Amino acid sequence: MNKNEKTFFPLFEFAVNRAGVGIHAIDRNGRTVIYNDKMKAIEGLELEEVGDRSILELFNFDQEESTLLKVLQSGQEQLNVKQTYWNRKGTEITTINDTYPVFHEGELIGAVEIARDITALEKFVLHPLRKNSEPATFSQIIATSDEMKTVISTARKAAVTNLPVLLVGESGTGKDLIAESIHNESTNSNGPYYTFFGHQSDATIIDRLDEDLNMSKPFTLFCERIDLLSISLQQKLFSFLKDSERHGRQFIASIGDDPVELIAKGTLLKELYYFFASFTIRITPLRKRKMDILPFVNSYLARRKERYGTSLEGITTEVEQVFLQYDWPGNMRELEFLLDEVSSLATMESVITYDMLPLHFRLKSDSLTETSTQATDFIVQPEKELMPLDRYLKEAEEYYLLKAMKIHDENITKTAQALGMSRQNLQYRLRKLKNGR
Ligand SMILES: Nc1ncnc2c1ncn2[C@@H]1O[C@H](COP(=O)(O)OP(=O)(O)OP(=O)(O)O)[C@@H](O)[C@H]1O
């Protein structure tokens, strides 16, 4: 570094770290030379971990997977590439990336990626329709158990009264679906339905609520997981709600745990709780109302058959037993994802058999059943149909990594050591498996 560069380096460093976008630059050998604070926040990595290593080594990317490397190889910029992924803290992040090759005196010297975190914007969206393109209504909600029947009848009352509603339940229990059903069956159903996402919102979004919502009337605002907002943002949201209460406006909120406990822990503002508490609806976790599992499976398969003409119609008794014994920590969402995964791989089968369940699920439900999945599953058996090599390798890797993690009490450092790889590499692979699911 010459004298000029030395003097200005702290200025460059300061500016790069204060930038509101993530910046990641690599030199021509793929080594990281800039990795700013915003990028760390987005990707959940520390600079020390990125260090002087090439990103290939760090993440063990396939060459095609890294935009930075692709740009380095092709010398062509790639603009507006949207990516959604879970960083290693398990947070879902959506970014828009621009990646540029950098030339100096006609020679390619590296590449720079600029990432804009648009998670909050992406999530603050008008939600007129759900993923299945039909407006959610109570009739789509599976409610065979007494617990769910009570939930539905209370929610129907809430739809009529227009009073604020608080939905309490673990992740994946259907709070979102119920909130939207309340909207669609209320007198507000002709107005828009907005979702405000607690886990990715900031003060700007609350200001935008003020600007955007005060123009429309009537509307429903669903504040999802308010317990994930900081207390100061909860205060800001509370002031907005208090000032916006008018006829024709329905406010619904959800929280992930018992409100009394959340208030005691200091993660839920008492005033905000009281604002919503007039109709508090508690949704029991799926493990305590297993009666709803099989009706959900049947309804899912029937919907899929009707929509895509798929051949799957049911599950074997063995799979039924596994489903009924498993605890479903991710509730209906976990069951739905599992069925999505199985159905997308099915071809002509009409019944879901135990062998069709993905390995990660069979491993989790292993201890619950006699038919556990063992390493022998990876031995080629003449009576079984061969699976494509890439799927076999993926499943074998998943089996091996999860087993290794289990042996080392889920400790990343110890497992990585035992497997002879870096922590980052192991974390990257686990994250990739999770995203792949
Ligand atoms: N009783 C049910 N009947 C039919 N589908 C359901 C039911 N419960 C949940 N689902 C489906 O499961 C998935 C997850 O539900 P939803 O997003 O409403 O959960 P949530 O409680 O809002 O989760 P989070 O707290 O993580 O936002 C959705 O696709 C939803 O349609």
pTM score, whole prediction: 0.61
What sign for the dihedral angle of Cα 315, 318, 322, 324?
A: positive
- Residues of the chain with pLDDT below 70 are 1-2, 44-65, 83-94, 119-134, 200-201, 212, 214-216, 366-385, 434-437
What's residue 168's pLDDT? 97
What's residue 120's pLDDT? 57
The partner residues of 416 in beta bridges, in order of sequence, read none
CA distance 341 to 431: 17
Q: Which atom, in ligand 1's list, is nearest to the CA of 148?
A: 1
Q: What angle do CA 256, 261, 265 make, to 5 degrees?
A: 100
Nearest CA owner, ligand 1 atom 27: 171
What's residue 81's pLDDT? 78
Nearest CA owner, ligand 1 atom 30: 174
Say how many Å lie between the CA of residue 141 and the centre of ligand 1: 9
Torsion on CA atoms 416, 422, 428, 434, rounded to nearest 10: 0
Nearest CA owner, ligand 1 atom 24: 171
- What domains, with CATH codes, occur in the chain? 3-117 (3.30.450.20), 122-284 (3.40.50.300), 287-372 (1.10.8.60), 374-437 (1.10.10)
Say how many Å lie between the CA of residue 412 and the centre of ligand 1: 31
What's residue 251's pLDDT? 93
What's residue 158's pLDDT? 92
What's residue 371's pLDDT? 42
Q: Which atom, in ligand 1's list, is nearest to the CA of 335?
A: 12
Paired tokens of 7: 């003097």
Q: Does ligand 1 have an atom closer than 6 angstroms to the CB of 164?
A: no
CA distance 216 to 208: 13
What's residue 203's pLDDT? 75
Q: Which atom, in ligand 1's list, is nearest to the CA of 299?
A: 4
What's residue 44's pLDDT? 66
CA distance 344 to 32: 38
What's residue 412's pLDDT? 86
What's residue 370's pLDDT? 44
Q: Does ligand 1 have an atom closer than 6 angstroms to the CB of 176?
A: yes
Q: Does ligand 1 have an atom closer than 6 angstroms to the CB of 141?
A: yes
What's residue 60's pLDDT? 39
Q: Which residue has the tokens 């460093």?
A: 13
Q: Does ligand 1 have an atom closer than 6 angstroms to the CB of 22?
A: no
Say how many Å lie between the CA of residue 325 and the centre of ligand 1: 20
Paired tokens of 262: 């959340």
Q: Does ligand 1 have an atom closer than 6 angstroms to the CB of 177?
A: yes
Q: Does ligand 1 have an atom closer than 6 angstroms to the CB of 171?
A: yes
